[in-house]
Chains A and B, each alone.
Chain A
Amino acid sequence: MLTVHGTTGEVVKIIVNVLLGGRVMKRKVVSLILACSMVAGLTACGKGATDNGGNAGAEATTEAAEETESSDATEAEETTESADTAEATELAPIESDYVESGEEGKVINIYCWNDEFRQRVEAVYDKVDHTSDDGTITYLTDGTEIHWTVNPNQDGVYQSKLDEALLNQATATGDDKIDMFLSETDYVVKYTDAEADVAIPLTELGIDPDTVLADQYSFTKTVASDANGVQRGSTWQACPVLFVYRRDIAQDVFGTDDPDEIHAKVADWDTMKASGEELKAKGYYTLSSYADTFRAYGNSIANPWVEQGSTEINVDPQIINWVNDSKEWLDAGLIDANIKGQWTDEWNKAMGSASNVFGFLLPAWGIDFVLSPNWDGETGAWAVTDGPQAFNWGGSFVHGCAGTDDPEHVREIMLAVTADKDNLVQITRDYLDFTNTQTGMQEIAEDDSFSAEFLGGENPFKYFQPAASSIEMTTLSPYDQGCVELVQNAFSDYLQGQIDFETAKANFETAIKERYPEITAVNWPE
């Protein structure tokens, strides 16, 4: 007789017996039923599988993101100076339609996409006691808990999770309500929108932007305001971008690593390209990827991607310039074709000591948050100077969420992290972040004793400070993140030589209409 091996065999045998069922008729019936039930299950299953897969992917990305971050959580900062603001100035209790009346809640829910904001809060908010080891809960000394809900920014995951939660805000009960959330420059407009009305106007929280936030860079205040000029968010950082380069490569190729002399080599795109040829002759890439220059072009567009009230996307000529220039640089061998985008493994490795990439265009947070964790050589190997173009990249805005039941804490956190000059200066000194205080940055820029070890003792704020003053941001739309991501993705295929220009355009149109169903047309420049 046939022998079945082990338990697997037994189980399988049973399956087979059921399926074969002995008689032909029965067998047919069984398999037909099977087939039908599977077909019927498809639609529902498809949905389930989709969700699971999405989450799994998201989780994977979160993990990856968290790995790249320098986990400074351990060195929970001893905050001495921060105590003064919140308590010294007696704040009036908050009465507003935007907040839940009654007792202050015990749980503060904050939505964000990485642990950067948590680190800032831990560093300067005087009520922080400690954070749980997994970083999900921060305990405050008054017994309140901050619950962090982290979803990755990439691919719009953070926004869709946040949107879902915001739509449920009205029905959520006290401790489940979102109290604060963060948004990035790419989509801050979506959340500060007066019609959406999800971010509490600062005045409703008892914060007068004109006095309390007077020291902030004005463009950060404009960006966080709705169309009527009502400010609905605040940020602790401004993000002017500088050219960060490797000193050893500069010495090797140009014979000097002096920031002013290197600036002369990269003063504008043409000069930079000419210097790129010199770097290439010695086997170096000028920049890592065509994605590195995208923000320079993308943030200097003349008109927003989507005009207010319109459902048509206007592609700015600057974007086409980016495509053409990138193609030129790529063909000339000045950038590494193997690095297809930012936030990839290749990009991270290009910041390591084994890489032959000369420099990156990064804002202050980029140096602290991206470059520094990826650098594995000697400290002090990098330097900054002014790049070919001043532009802003990123910026995280903090919003109080309409319907919050912890308005007092929301105000305290917002003031501590974004409005207190001493706190901001401390963040800058500890994390090299470019913070949102004009006078503070001015002081640090002029402070000769201030030096960044990572940058070989250079004071980067000498360069960041003037760059920040020249930034203007007037062309934001709620669709920016999708446009920026998808246009790069579509034209990456073109730059890699996989498809022609027209196909890339068509692919962008398809992808953008998928992301935003209401988009009716995409207009390309002549």
Chain B
Amino acid sequence: METTMSTKAKNGLGVVSIVIMIWTLIPLLWIIATSLKSTAALADPSQNLFGNFWPKHISWDNYKLIFSGGASDLFLPALWHSIVVCVVSTFISVVLATFCAYAISRLNFPGKKLILTTSLAVSFFPVIAMVTPLFNLWRQIGLFDTIPGLIIPYLALTLPLSIWILSAFFQQIPWEMEQAAQVDGATSWQAFIKVIAPLAAPGVFTTAIIAFFTAWNDFVFSSNLTAQSAQTVPAALNFFTGASQFVQPTGAICAAAVVVTIPVVILVLVFQKRIVAGLTSGAVKG
């Protein structure tokens, strides 16, 4: 089909693609640009280029502010909480989901469909509906504003997703190869390590990235179930203050936003193909 397309049509689509890419990139470029503006440039459009978009002089003040300056008391602990909570909940979910997905794709037992349907259904629960009962319970048993008090609800975000995506990945694995390897003289351990693990690892890895990202993105749980000592970055951004109380925290918020965004963007772009496969696995055959 592509060969029959005229050069004109090709170029036309190319131009449309570039427009789409610009629309996609502008908000990201904008937040980077804002994080590089000095306090003076944030208040004065004449110090910026392209209609107040890009600063004439790049300033790293905002990054200094969040890493060693006034905002670091808030940002650094929040960054640490984000990492700990997301890594732990992703790890627990992916380990549990790996066993579950293995059973679903390899063994025949009643209830397989029930597990899959439930995991899809609960991933669409409005998360805020879980906040009120958990808020009450956590207050009573002392889990409010603690790391475990955030990891548990994060499992509600990551576990159903992991089960669903990983089952889709595992169902595409040619499991017969394990037996074939054994017939060829490999022990079952060798067959697992040499044949099955390399086939399953990419699926597990992709699921982990998607689950981690879902947890990393959370704002509902973290803004309602924490106060100070377990707050993650998305919630903490709302509590930033400027260099003095008369200065808007705009620059610091943007710098912190860039710090938490860029690693994830890079991760997603590098593993783009697998992540798309994982995200669409539940929706359409393919």
Whether chain B is bound by chain A comes out as no
Interface residues of B (CB under 8 A from A): none
Residues in chain A within 8 A of chain B (CB atoms)? none
